[in-house]
Amino acid sequence: MTEKELQQLISEMSLEEKVGQMVQRVASEMVSGAIVTGPEGTVETKKMSIGLIGSILNKTGAQTLHDLQKEFIEKHPHHIPLLFMYDVINGMDTIFPIPLAQGCAFSPEMAEECAAMARDEAVAKGLHVNFSPMLDLVRDPRWGRVMESTGEDPYLNGVLGRAMVRGYQKKGNMSACLKHFAGYGAPEGGRDYENVEISERTFREDYLPAYAAVVKEGCCMAMTSFNTWNRIPSTGNKWLIRKVLREEMGFEGVLISDFAAIDEMIRHGIAEDSREAAKLAIEAGVDIDMQSNAYMNHLVDLVRRGEVDEKLIDEAVMRILKLKNSLGLFENPYNGSPEDEKRLLLCQAHRNKARAAAAASFVLLKNEDLLPLKKEEKVAFIGPYVDNFKIHGSWTTLEHPENNVTVKQGVTEKTGACLSAKGAYVLDEGQKTRMFDPEERPVSEEELLREAVALAEKADKVVLCLGEHRHQTGEGGSRTSITLSKGQLRLLEEVAAVNKNIVSVVFSGRPVELKRVQALSQSLMMVWMPGTEGGNAIADVLYGDAVPQGKLSMTLPRSVGQVPMYYNCFRTGRPNPTGDRVGFIHGYIDESTKPLYPFGYGLSYTTFDYTPVSVDRTEMTKDRAVEAAVTVTNTGSFPGTETVQLYLQDVKGSVIRPLKMLRGFQKVSLQPGESRTVSFQITEDMLRFYDINMVYTSEPGLFRVYIGTDSDTQNAAEFTLTE
Ligand code: GLC
């Protein structure tokens, strides 16, 4: 339809119909009655027919959605199709590594390919909109949703977020949805839904850039966040939406609230009731109300009584109808088919990509010659993640975890056998997870331990497969302690007492505390939540058929007491270079200020040598860039892939500036002995920041350019930006 035809359609629609387009309900309500829970758990009668709404969430299946859509369109007064929306965070039926793991691959190409395959499966199942990518910057691993972010760096998150949007949207028929706008990743104390207390400068400098990058990529939808910023809930924050998102970032797409977030403004204490919440949200610029009763029960009345300008309704409805139009719904309201599902879901091509992506996302943190394993070695695989299907993370409503490949299956497939013992449960007795997903405990912990130690005693090496429960992260998955369970730590101690050759493989949705695991393991690798092909990918890396290449996308602290902790921090007036000096100096008396492993860190089976950074000039102007370069050599005996990282430091500014800022990275694959020169163009726009007057600009002065293997690199050169 043309815009003129859309305008005509809007002019013919009743006010109820128009408001209906702005209402999203869970699919289950399409069949249930009119009663829904209101704010504070009250029970309210819907004042709007479910036959007028504009979209539903939380239902998949081509045939189911076809049937639902057909019946809905026939009954709708203007036959306007529904949008079907869903959370396909790291895959639909084929599950890819969680986004935090994909961040560790530092590969926009891979992120785009995984997103494109997830899109194909989601479209096959009849969906139109994917509530992804999540662009929330994260610096506090206590927060459960770090698993859903690509990490702690604004630049990396923007690059990967753009790649995911391309993957979801480039073939058409599907819209991505950037979320959660904005700053949801900085809740005080890591407590989910908590207030966010950061300065506007920090907000703009660190938290907003990734959302802006994805808007620039053409993301068609955005979602508000549950949190407040500047003590205003995002869903009612007119400055954040109309000034920052729409005016500054140029977002012209549809803005949906997060789940029931409009009515949550009552509980936040800035709306007297659902009616006032509706007014706040529409005036702030929220187009669709996801599953609260505000728009459904009050928006028509607010317009009728002249308290809300109908123009605001028409603007929102136009954006919604434009989205439906851009997805071709008026010509074909049906995505996918049972045949597409049969052809695409969990197909071998998707499994192969999931396997390669998982292997690329693993981060090898330590390796004192135990890896790669040899097939002729007697290796005992011990731990609750050896024979565990639940390795797909918390944001997947996977009905069939048995489609996943366990470590035991992967190792058996590769070597013909897998000596194994469970050794411990994932959780301690009574330990909570965010969702009910209980762990059967048929055997006593003592019995599990005894069996495991006996096996460890007879093995050349032990691979300990440890980790968090998949529901110890995700929405509502915040923890005050980020350690492994006591049972697993006891297993580690008891096995280490009889066999020193320990390789620890850790499954988690967040950086976990690994000091003790690191001390007792000769080799240590983070595999996060690797998804459908996790077991095969782990076997590939352990036996050297894939060489580890991942780099931490989020700092791994020594202790939860250190968080929030991130690489792009500040020097302070009393720097502590070694991190563990005590006295009148930055830091603690009982812990270092250094992490266990820094952002950007990750080992290979080979080693890489870097030449000193060279620059083609030592003066930069706004019109003349500086080219910085290094030559990287594979100095080991394995082929390997290295992520060469470029960091900049503004040595002095009108406000304090971070020690380092990631401004580029390039992955190079090198054969043993091979060298490659890697160069980066540094331009003036990469030096800009919000100065003392909150003007986004660069300032003349001295800059350092670092190029190295992780954010700790001291391989640097200098240049000056002149006027
Ligand atoms: C949830 C999440 C959001 C998700 C939405 C729909 O509460 O915060 O990320 O997209 O509801 O499931």
Any atom of ligand 1 within 6 Å of the Cβ of 136: no
Q: Is the pLDDT of residue 443 over 80?
A: yes
In contact, 434 and 394? CB cutoff 8 Å: yes
Cα 705 from Cα 566, distance rounded (Å): 19
In contact, 92 and 122? CB cutoff 8 Å: yes
Residue 164: which pLDDT band, with cuts at 50, 70 and 90?
A: very high
Any atom of ligand 1 within 6 Å of the Cβ of 650: no
Q: Is the pLDDT of residue 266 over 60?
A: yes
Q: What is the pLDDT of residues 118-128, one digit of tens each?
A: 999 999 999 99
Quick one: which H or E segment has residue 629? strand 626-634
Q: What is the pLDDT of residues 193-252, one digit of tens each?
A: 999 999 999 999 999 999 999 999 999 999 999 999 999 999 999 999 999 999 999 999
CB atoms within 10 A of CB 696: 11
Q: What is the pLDDT of residues 666-703, one digit of tens each?
A: 999 999 999 999 999 999 999 999 999 999 999 999 99
Q: What is the pLDDT of residues 293-324, one digit of tens each?
A: 999 999 999 999 999 999 999 999 999 999 99
Any atom of ligand 1 within 6 Å of the Cβ of 179: yes
Q: Is the pLDDT of residue 22 over 60?
A: yes
What contacts 629, CB < 8 A, 6 or more positions away?
613, 614, 615, 616, 677, 678, 679, 680, 707
Ligand 1 atom closest to Cα of residue 180: 9
Q: Is the pLDDT of residue 33 over 60?
A: no
Cα 105 from Cα 644, distance rounded (Å): 12
Structure tokens at 359: 């292997």
Measure Cα distances from 528 to 151, 188, 208, 509, 566 in Å. Answer: 13, 24, 26, 6, 19
Instruction: Output phi, psi for 444, to 5 deg.
Output: -70, 155
Any atom of ligand 1 within 6 Å of the Cβ of 87: yes
Ligand 1 atom closest to Cα of residue 177: 10
Ligand 1 atom closest to Cα of residue 85: 6
Any atom of ligand 1 within 6 Å of the Cβ of 145: no
Going from the Cα of 257 to the center of ligand 1, the distance in angstroms, rounded, reads 9
Which pLDDT does position 50 carry in this prediction? 86
**3-class state of residue 428 by DSSP:** coil
The residue among 353, 357, 349 whose CA lies nearest residue 541 is: 357
Torsion, Cα 370 373 379 380, to 10 degrees, reads: 70
Which bin fits 565, alpha (ψ -120 to 50), beta or left (φ > 0)?
A: beta
Which residue's C-alpha comes closest to atom 1 of ligand 1? 259
Going from the Cα of 258 to the center of ligand 1, the distance in angstroms, rounded, reads 6
Question: For residue 556, what is the DSSP state?
Answer: B
Q: What is the pLDDT of residues 169-203, one digit of tens each?
A: 999 999 999 999 999 999 999 999 999 999 999 99
Report H helices in 48-202: 62-75, 99-105, 108-124, 154-169, 200-202
Cα 355 from Cα 359, distance rounded (Å): 6
Contacts for 209-212: CB closer than 8 Å, 24+ residues apart: 209/154, 209/155, 209/157, 209/158, 210/135, 210/137, 210/154, 210/157, 210/158, 210/161, 211/135, 211/178, 211/181, 211/182, 211/245, 211/249, 212/158, 212/248, 212/249
**Residues assigned a catalytic role:** 258
Q: What is the pLDDT of residues 63-117, one digit of tens each?
A: 999 999 999 999 999 999 999 999 999 999 999 999 999 999 999 999 999 999 9
- Could you identify the residue written with the tokens 């199942």? 125
Any atom of ligand 1 within 6 Å of the Cβ of 192: no
Q: What is the pLDDT of residues 486-518, one digit of tens each?
A: 999 999 999 999 999 999 999 999 999 999 999
Q: Is the pLDDT of residue 440 over 60?
A: yes
CB atoms within 10 A of CB 80: 23
**3-class state of residue 325 by DSSP:** helix
- Our measurement of the distance from residue 681's CA atom to the centroid of its chain's CA atoms, rounded to an integer in Å, reads 28
Structure tokens at 449: 């331990």
Going from the Cα of 259 to the center of ligand 1, the distance in angstroms, rounded, reads 6
The residue among 361, 433, 437 whose CA lies nearest residue 398 is: 437
Going from the Cα of 113 to the center of ligand 1, the distance in angstroms, rounded, reads 23
Which pLDDT does position 41 carry in this prediction? 58
